[in-house]
Structure 1
Amino acid sequence: MKEILKLDGVCKEYGIKGFKNKVLRDVSLTVNEGEFISIMGPSGAGKSTLLNLVSTLDKPTKGTILLDGVDITKVKNKELSKIRRDNIGFIFQDYNLLDNMKLMDNIALPLALGRKKTKDIEDKVKQMAELFGLSDHLKKYPYELSGGQQQRGSAARALITKPKVIFADEPTGALDTRSSSDLLECMTRANKEENATIIMVTHDAISASYSDKVYMLTDGEIKCHIEKGNSRKEFYSRILDLLASMGGAR
């Protein structure tokens, strides 16, 4: 199985000498192609910091981060921008769709910026729209869509370039239960059908139960992880037990 992301001894500190705050401590983690993992932990555990490091938005104080075999801790900013454009997709809590563009144009944007052929863009937009249940909404503007539809549009846009890895930061945080379920089922389908590699940060046990593995980050360290069996319901129960044993994840 191909390694897409590998962290080895990653540490992150902020501040000046004598007043340093150690946010991450010796974090090591390997994510293989086609995996869907969740990272959970209490507020202040370092989840957002970890996500910023692996998504090239920040650099560690110490350690290495290999993204598809490239040590992104040693890459210059110009090359990082290219890696971000070609290899990484983002799904944020806020939908970040452009209000003056129809949904089809929002989804197509990464390919349009990459100067892809019009026919190829149209075909790919239709494929992503079908995958995310948006085929009937492509000609609508974001303000005409529900929050769940907007977030699925954001996810479709993140996947349209077929990036090496998708980073999802609390993607269901602004959604109701039904919309969250719809989004997570679509993400799972993308994971299985498109072999999308997904790393999701979440505090929500229900959301985490859609993934294949859950890693618990506490006090800047990955304390443990659990893997899904055959049942999502059983996995959800085990996640709750893990959170209880760790003192909760909020």
Structure 2
Amino acid sequence: MTSVLQVIGVQKDYGRKGFRTKVLKGIDLTVEKGDFISIMGPSGAGKTTLLNLMSTLDVATSGQIILDGTDLSTVNHKKLSAIRREKIGFIFQDYSLLDNMSIRDNIALPLALGRKKTQKILDKVEEMAQLFGITHQLDKYPYELSGGQKQRAAAARALITNPSVIFADEPTGALDSRSSTDLLECLKRLNETTGATIVMVTHDPFSASYSNRVYMLSDGNVKCQLDKGESRKVFYNQILDLLAVMGGDVE
């Protein structure tokens, strides 16, 4: 397989000289094209920090993050913005939909910002809406939708540009059990049918069981990796066992 994202010896410190806190202490991680991985760990392990670094929302203190062959530390702000717009999709816990725009326009926004042709945008929005089962919600506004529908709209927006990687930060954190399952099933189906590459931070073993592998962070390091076999149920139980062995509070 071809790697789409490489994290090499990444460290992240916060604070001023003499009062610095090391959050990440030398992370090595490779994400293959078409993979679906989860990053887990106790509170303060550095999960969200790592996600922010990989998704260009923050800058590493040292080490390399290579996305589609580009070392992110070597590009200027303009190029970084282009990479963020063209190669990265985001799914956040709070949906981040614009309340004054219809769901259709929210999903279309990344393509509109990229100045794509109108008919191409409309066709792609319809395609994404069908994939996520929200065709009948396209002319509604975010406040008219359930949490699950809003999150599926956010996922459709994240995928509309065919990004190299989709980063999902606790995507089921604000959803009920049924909505969580619906979203995870959609993401898994997209991963399997379109080859979408997904990197998800989650505290939830059930959500993590939909991925192909789990990386467990603790104290700023990757402590272990767990790969899924054929059964999601078995994988879920293995994740629970791993969390029990590691101990500590998982968010």
Q: Do Structure 1 and Structure 2 share a fold, with TM-score over 0.5?
A: yes
Aligned twin of 2:116: 116
Supply the distance in 2 between the matched residues of 1:15 and 1:112 (Cα, whole angstroms): 39
Deviation per residue, 1:74-121 (Å, 9 max, x gap): 211111111100100000000111112111111111111111111111
Tell me the amino acid that sits aligned with residue 39 of structure 2.
Answer: I
Aligned twin of 1:205: 205
Supply the distance in 2 between the matched residues of 1:191 and 1:56 (Cα, whole angstroms): 22
CA drift of 1:135 comes to: 1.3
Aligned twin of 1:186: 186
TM (normalized to structure 2)? 0.98
Tell me the amino acid that sits aligned with residue 212 of structure 2.
Answer: D
Deviation per residue, 1:181-216 (Å, 9 max, x gap): 000101111111121100000000000000000000
Tell me the amino acid that sits aligned with residue 72 of structure 1.
Answer: L
Supply the distance in 2 between the matched residues of 1:159 and 1:48 (Cα, whole angstroms): 21
CA drift of 1:41 comes to: 0.4
Structure 1 stretches of 4+ with a deviation exceeding 3 A read none
Residue 131 of structure 1 contacts residue 189 of structure 1 at CA under 8 Å; is this kept in 2?
no
2:173 corresponds to 1:173: yes
Structure 1 unaligned regions, length at least 5? none
Structure 2 unaligned regions, length at least 5? none
How many residues get paired? 250
The residue matched to 2:73 in structure 1 has which SS? Answer: coil
Aligned twin of 2:127: 127
Aligned twin of 1:60: 60
Residue 126 of structure 1 contacts residue 135 of structure 1 at CA under 8 Å; is this kept in 2?
yes
The residue matched to 2:74 in structure 1 has which SS? Answer: coil
Aligned twin of 1:143: 143
RMSD: 0.8
Aligned twin of 2:101: 101
2:80 corresponds to 1:80: yes
Supply the distance in 1 between the matched residues of 2:28 and 2:178 (Cα, whole angstroms): 35
Task: Using the aligned pairs only, state the percent identity.
Answer: 67
CA drift of 1:16 comes to: 2.1
